[in-house]
Structure 1
Amino acid sequence: MTLWLTRIVPSPSSREAHRDLGGNDQGIRLHQRMLQMFPDGIEGPARAAFGVLFRAEETPRGLQILLQSHEAPDPSRLPDAYGNVETRSLDGMLSNLHKGAIINYRCVASPVRKPGAAAREAYKLPPVVALSGNAAIEWWERQSTAAGLEPLHINAHPLATVRGSRGHKDPAAKQRVQHSRTQFDGTARVLDADLLREKLAAGIGRGKAYGCGLLTLAPMQQRS
């Protein structure tokens, strides 16, 4: 299965891009915008059908959107002058993964734990508890290992929580969306390349429809 990575650099003059990227409901708006680039009429959830994972991030050159998918998106379905769009296959990177390789990684994820019924009752906890600080780092260590990686260095940076609503036109029937987010950056050693390829395609953790779970890799720069 081929994976495609699309980089979108939004145009500062695009009202649609500005609206999509503004506010705490950014992830909800971008979810709708990213799916717009794929065919209609799919049975079941379109995000899963096309393997869509995405995130918006700040770079030294400004804001960008990264989109990963099983099928190359069609940028002509975006609003006119939305931004600059470049798509490339990840086949080369995936085929070069091997046990022992040292890579750089980045993932914006939603670290949580789900306490049992007894703990929820005793401590009046919600069904899902957002994690931060050392608890979030420990969560990422477990997720990394489950993805075939040995984390060597972890930098965890909390991001704004995604909040908003989705679903029906009737406001009373809308579902509330809330996902805490942490950006994890660092270096890792590949322990299981096949498992890592699977996790790259599937994404990490919850909130995948709203800008969480996309794991991106880059080779370590070789010193001359």
Structure 2
Amino acid sequence: MELWLSRITPNPRSAQARADLASAGALHRRLMGLLPREDLGDSPRQAAGLLFRVDESRSGTAVLVQSARKLDESRMPYDYGQIEHRELSPLLEALTTGQAVRYRIVASPTRRIGRSAKNGTKEVTTPLRGAEAEAWWHSRARDHGIEPRSLVAHDRHDAFDRSRGRRIRHAAVLFQGAAVVTDPAAAREAVRCGIGRGKSHGCGLLSLALLGSDT
């Protein structure tokens, strides 16, 4: 099964690119529009397997997009930005038990307080920050086949979508560091499917790179 990683470098002078970066919902819709519609059938979101993350660095802003279909740059607005593609199968096949990797993910760590029919309370989802968020990541990472050896965590701006009458908001935290693969199959599935909530709004994309390589 193919899995593509695309890196979009938005043009800061493009009004459309700036508008998309200002809303996770708008950016998701833009990226879905870059996929070949004829290949996605009746359930385009599921068929696309679309995950994305906005990365900020000294060199500027980049949008990393992972999908089961290669993005079609001809569908991007004129002067929107530059795009590069890479197929991820070689990386996934290289994952073995004990393999040292670097990881990076913007996730939405939460805790759910359960529903009780007896006292009439409803389920509440609470965002986690600080030490609680780090504990959440350690637990999720282990469940998904990697054991963190180091961790640096930074709060990110909440991911939100207020368009079309929506009021969607996800707390976002950047987790990155070094890890060891403990279950290659689970790690591959985590890369393909993402981790946690907010996957349609820029959360959940797990990036792995073999430690000491540029893969």
Alignment TM-score, normalising by the size of structure 1 = 0.88
User: How is 1:19-168 mapped onto 2 (pairs within 5 angstroms)?
Assistant: 19-22=19-22, 26-40=23-37, 42-117=40-115, 127-167=124-164
**Secondary structure at the residue paired with 1:213?**
coil
Tell whether the 8 Å contact from 2:26 to 2:161 is kept in structure 1 after alignment.
Answer: no
Code of the aligned partner of 1:16 = Q
TM-score, with length taken from structure 2: 0.91
Amino acid at match of 1:70: A
- Paired residues of 2:36 and 2:69 also in contact (CA < 8 A): no
| Corresponding residue of 2:168 | 177
In structure 2, what residue type is equivalent to 1:72? K
1:171 maps to which residue?
none
- Aligned partner of 1:179: which letter? H
Q: CA deviation at 1:189?
A: 0.3
Structural RMSD (CA): 1.9
CA-CA distance at 1:64 after TM superposition: 0.3
In 2, Cα distance between equivalents of 1:51 and 1:162: 19
**Tell me, what secondary structure is at the counterpart of 1:73?**
coil
Give the partner amino acid of 1:181. A
Mapped partners of 1:12, 1:175: distance in 2: 27
Residues 164-205 of structure 1, C-alpha deviations (whole Å, 9 max, x = no match): 3244xxxxxx23101000000011000011111111101000
Distance in 2 (alpha carbons) for counterparts of 1:71 and 1:218? 21
In 1, Cα distance between equivalents of 2:66 and 2:196: 16
Paired with 1:161 and 1:45, the residues of 2 have a C-alpha distance of 27
Consecutive unaligned residues in structure 1, runs of 5 or more: 168-173
For 2:51 and 2:42, the matched residues in 1 are separated by: 16
CA contact 1:166–1:177 (8 Å) conserved in 2: no
Per the TM alignment, residue 28 of structure 1 is displaced from its structure 2 partner at its CA by: 0.9
Partner-residue secondary structure (3-state), 1:160: strand
Count residues with an aligned counterpart. 210
How much has 1:39 moved relative to structure 2? 2.8
Amino acid at match of 2:4: W
Cα distance between partner residues in 1 of 2:199 and 2:128: 17
* Long gaps (5+) in structure 2: none
CA–CA distance in 2 between the matches of 1:7 and 1:96? 21
**Structure 1 position 72, deviation (Å):** 0.7
Q: Deviations over 1:134-180 (max 9, x none)?
A: 1101110111011100111111100111233244xxxxxx2310100
| 2:115/2:123 contact within 8 Å kept | no
1:153 aligned counterpart, secondary structure: coil
Seen in structure 2, the aligned counterparts of structure 1 residues 182 and 192 have a Cα distance that, compared at 3 Å, is: same
How far off is 1:129 after superposition?
Answer: 0.4
Instruction: Give, in angstroms, the shift of residue 126 of structure 1.
Output: 6.3
Match of 2:187 in 1: 196
User: CA deviation digits over 1:82-132, x for unaligned, max 9?
Assistant: 1110011011111111110111000000000111235xx79x896100000
Which residue type is aligned with residue 10 of structure 2?
Answer: P
Q: 1:202 to 1:114 in 2, by over 3 A?
A: same
Residues 110 and 44 from structure 1, CA distance in 2 versus in 1: closer, same or farther, beyond 3 angstroms? farther
